[in-house]
Amino acid sequence: MGVREIWKGFGGKDADSIRVPDAEAAVARISTLSDRQRLELLEDCEQSDLAWFWSTDAKCRLNYLSAKALAQFAPERAVIGEAVSKVLQTVNEDEDHSEAKPIAFLLSSRSSFTELVVRLHGDDADESARRWWQITGRPQFDARREFIGYRGTAKDITSTYADKRKTSRMAAFDALTGLSNRHRMSQRLTNALRANEHEKRSCALIMLDLDRFKQVNDSLGHPAGDELLRQVSQRLQRVAPGGAEIGRIGGDEFQLIVPDLDDRGKLGDYANRMIQMISQPYSIEGRRAIIGTSVGIAIAPYDGLESTELVKAADLALYAAKGGGRGQFRFYSNDLKETAEDRREIEEDLRDAIDKDQLRMHYQPQVCTKANHVLGFESLMRWEHPVRGPVSPGVFIPIAEDSNLIDKLGEWALMQSCLDAASWPGELPVSVNVSARQFLNEDLPDIVKKALKNSGLPPSRLELEITESVFVGDVGSASDMFAKLYNLGVKLALDDFGTGYSSLSYLRKAPFSKLKIDQSFVNGCSSDDASGLAIVQAIANLASAMNMTTVAEGVEAMDQLKTVGELNIDLVQGFIFSRAVPQEEVMRKLESQELVYEPIGPATMRAERRTLYRRVGVVHEDHHYSAMLRDLSRTGARIEGLVDVPIGTELVIDLGEGQIVVGKVRRSQDATQGLQFETPLVSDGAGGLCTRHRVSPYMLTSVGMPLQALQSGHHLAAAAAGANSGNTRPRFMQVDVSGSASRAGRDAYSG
């Protein structure tokens, strides 16, 4: 077939007696060209690549294609006779963000199309050999309105399209790491969520923010920072869940979109793996650097249906993860909204806490294990907020660190601690906490010098407590700072040992004279937990081999004190001897010349179990009850509020925000039941527990709730129960146990 036949297809029987279509009739009439000349013109056009022609039969199989177009296919390929959709492929969204419908769809729906960009099938392997055409097509019908095939034009646009593709790739991908950029990620997320809503699928959004990246960038230089980011992106690609789209959306912020993953157990595992992977040391231009990362996770549709909502949720979770001490992950939950609000307020008020004289330094004794003598005090900051009352430094110090207030607070703490210590009788040292952020401040040695000079305290009586996190970042500049401080004659203590980035190599390099074993380890060795004991023993041995004094932090019970003594730990700091007390009390104690502390505390530390007092919903058959949650562990819970529930009964517990667990009653007495969960809970990243799965907002629409992200509260069980509320009578009596004492049975009402 040739162009002659195609032309004929427009209506003529014979190329020499062409019946020109109406629209062209007028032109034909005034045209001075003969039909033959017109045909030549078209053939010329075809030859010169100005336009090619194609046509198909009624089954959309190619039956004509201009010779020059055919030449673009491998010679052995029999293109004529093949289905158009096998020969040409609409370029997909992946390639140029367009949302064009697949060509097969257009053909089967008999649509006309113009300027459709297609790629030739079968050239996938070699990118440089790929060809793109722009085609138009119109369905043809015979006199009886029967479809007889397509006809259209095509044009090779490869050269211009490749350029366009390159530019659009640049607009979609991050040049440094090759990951998707912010623009593409947000587009992908929007598209994914739109499709999800249709298909009732889920999608997790994971946000990462590197901890201490800025420090590496500042001290090692930008090229090193770039290299670090490249290495981070490679590590991320290695540990990311399959099918995840990974992007870099800002300086040191990364994002993952993970389709069809809403299992919080698995997501938590992934987050931990990413945190661990990223926290391993990096070698950059021959220098060592360590960074960390915080991770926030939100899951659609539970935490948000639309992209802005979901991104906001993931951001809040990330913010909370950072606030929780970095190197952590956090799932979004509704109360984070309040937390963020709280933090803003606290930051605001903290700004003038010093000027308004709301801060105090308190002092907690460090007592030797041999004779219970006090050998020094740690200074701990206290803030009496005019409305909130006392705010814990565990809360406000991280906020101060995030908002650059820490330098001001830290300087004040140093000044005040030195002043107070200078007035203590005797030679007792004071230990002052220096946060990693202060440690980055080049002025720190001068600030320390000033505090010493101003108070007259000899440098040997000042000890700075520093946590392992100062080693995160550029290890070299940390060493410089150590040297400067050491040269001032002050002592250095390594605080919270064992909680951070457990690389021991720096212990050799940094001149620590004291090592403080974190409370979590001390807690671990109070029980009969052999491995906990072994760890503390190993730390104590290590420290003594390096001539460091050891301190056990957070000792509260007699048995802990005994164990700590047996392990040859030098000092104890804990409630068993004293809490941190005001300067006046320190003075009273020291002036009494009685420098011994008596241990006072419980015989043993009860194994840590979270005692909770929160209200949960309970569903049994089709009735909804309310109960108090007294204890919660991974595998079970204790609830109070239903009377005489037989052992073996299955209850559904609504922990709020869509978290539903099925449990079986294992123990039951009066209004208290011990439940064992069918599926264990998982870590929520904040030291608490959560369910792996939640009730899907899609499902809730079936019981009449609007389609929206999960709200706080326990309306879910109610909705579930309401949906099939029958005529049965409630099986159990519900009692009010919301007061602190259990009044089970007395003020009962039937639910």
For binding to ligand C2E (CB under 6 A), which residues are involved? 364, 380-381, 392-394, 397, 410, 413, 433-435, 465, 495-496, 553-556, 573-575, 580
The reply to whether 420 sits near Ca ion by the rule CB under 5 A is no
Residue 504: CB minimum distance to Ca ion, A? 18
Task: Please give the size of the binding site for Ca ion, defined by CB under 5 A.
Answer: 5
Residue labelled with tokens 């104690």: 589
The reply to whether 465 sits near Ca ion by the rule CB under 5 A is yes
Residue 570: CB minimum distance to ligand C2E, A? 16
Contact 709, 697 (CB under 8 A): yes
Name which position in 433, 469, 659, 668 contacts Ca ion (CB under 5 A): 433
In whole angstroms, give the CA distance from residue 10 to residue 31. 18
Residue 581: CB minimum distance to ligand C2E, A? 11
Q: Taking the CA atoms of 176, 177, 182 and 184 in sequence, report the sign of the dihedral they define.
A: positive
In whole angstroms, give the CA distance from residue 289 to residue 217. 10
Residue 403: CB minimum distance to ligand C2E, A? 14
Residue 407: CB minimum distance to Ca ion, A? 18
Look at residues 375, 338, 361 and name the one whose alpha carbon lies nearest to residue 409.
361
In whole angstroms, give the CA distance from residue 584 to residue 601. 24
Q: Is 562 helix (H, G, I), strand (E, B) or coil?
A: helix
The reply to whether 463 sits near Ca ion by the rule CB under 5 A is no
Look at residue 554 and give the partner it binds from ligand C2E, Ca ion, none, a contact being a CB closer than 5 to 8 Å depending on partner kind.
Answer: ligand C2E
Residue labelled with tokens 């609000």: 341
Q: Of the two residues 290 and 464, which places its CB atom closer to Ca ion in the complex?
A: 464
Residue 562: CB minimum distance to ligand C2E, A? 15
Look at residue 392 and give the partner it binds from ligand C2E, Ca ion, none, a contact being a CB closer than 5 to 8 Å depending on partner kind.
Answer: ligand C2E
Residue 335: CB minimum distance to Ca ion, A? 27
DSSP for residue 371: T
Contacts of 194 (CB under 8 A, 6+ apart): none
Look at residue 410 and give the partner it binds from Ca ion, ligand C2E, none, a contact being a CB closer than 5 to 8 Å depending on partner kind.
Answer: ligand C2E
Q: Of the two residues 303 and 553, which places its CB atom closer to Ca ion in the complex?
A: 553
Q: Of the two residues 8 and 362, which places its CB atom closer to ligand C2E in the complex?
A: 362
Residue 468: CB minimum distance to ligand C2E, A? 12
Backbone φ, ψ for residue 6 (5° rounding) = -60, -50
In whole angstroms, give the CA distance from residue 200 to residue 197. 5
Name which position in 495, 556, 640, 657 contacts Ca ion (CB under 5 A): 495
Annotate each residue in 544-573 with x if it binds Ca ion (CB under 5 A) or - if it does not, as one string: ---------x--------------------
Look at residue 192 and give the partner it binds from ligand C2E, Ca ion, none, a contact being a CB closer than 5 to 8 Å depending on partner kind.
Answer: none
In whole angstroms, give the CA distance from residue 547 to residue 566. 18
Residue type at 630?
R
Beta-ladder partners of 247: 180, 255
Please, is 563 exposed, middle or buried when counting C-beta atoms within 10 Å of its C-beta (0-12, 13-18, 19+)?
buried
Angle at 475 between CA 470 and CA 481, to 5 degrees: 65
Look at residue 555 and give the partner it binds from ligand C2E, Ca ion, none, a contact being a CB closer than 5 to 8 Å depending on partner kind.
Answer: ligand C2E
Cα 665 from chain centroid (whole Å): 35
Q: Of the two residues 148 and 395, which places its CB atom closer to Ca ion in the complex?
A: 395
Q: Of the two residues 177 and 469, which places its CB atom closer to ligand C2E in the complex?
A: 469
Residue 350: CB minimum distance to ligand C2E, A? 13
Q: Is 155 helix (H, G, I), strand (E, B) or coil?
A: strand
Residue 604: CB minimum distance to ligand C2E, A? 14
The reply to whether 496 sits near Ca ion by the rule CB under 5 A is yes
Q: Of the two residues 328 and 673, which places its CB atom closer to Ca ion in the complex?
A: 328
In whole angstroms, give the CA distance from residue 477 to residue 166. 41
Beta-ladder partners of 514: 493, 549
Q: Of the two residues 243 and 602, which places its CB atom closer to ligand C2E in the complex?
A: 602
Q: Of the two residues 493 and 737, which places its CB atom closer to ligand C2E in the complex?
A: 493
Contact segment (CB under 5 A) with Ca ion among 145-153, 268-276, 490-498, 644-652 equals 490-498
Look at residue 574 and give the partner it binds from Ca ion, ligand C2E, none, a contact being a CB closer than 5 to 8 Å depending on partner kind.
Answer: ligand C2E
Q: Of the two residues 6 and 380, which places its CB atom closer to ligand C2E in the complex?
A: 380
N- to C-terminal Cα distance for the chain? 84
Residue labelled with tokens 């430094």: 393
Long-range CB pairs of 97-105, under 8 A, 24+ apart, other chains included = 97/168, 97/172, 97/187
Contacts of 433 (CB under 8 A, 6+ apart): 378, 379, 380, 381, 413, 465, 495
In whole angstroms, give the CA distance from residue 464 to residue 574. 19
Residue 580: CB minimum distance to ligand C2E, A? 5
Q: Of the two residues 331 and 439, which places its CB atom closer to ligand C2E in the complex?
A: 439
Question: Where do contacts with Ca ion occur on this chain (CB under 5 A)?
Answer: 433, 465, 495-496, 553
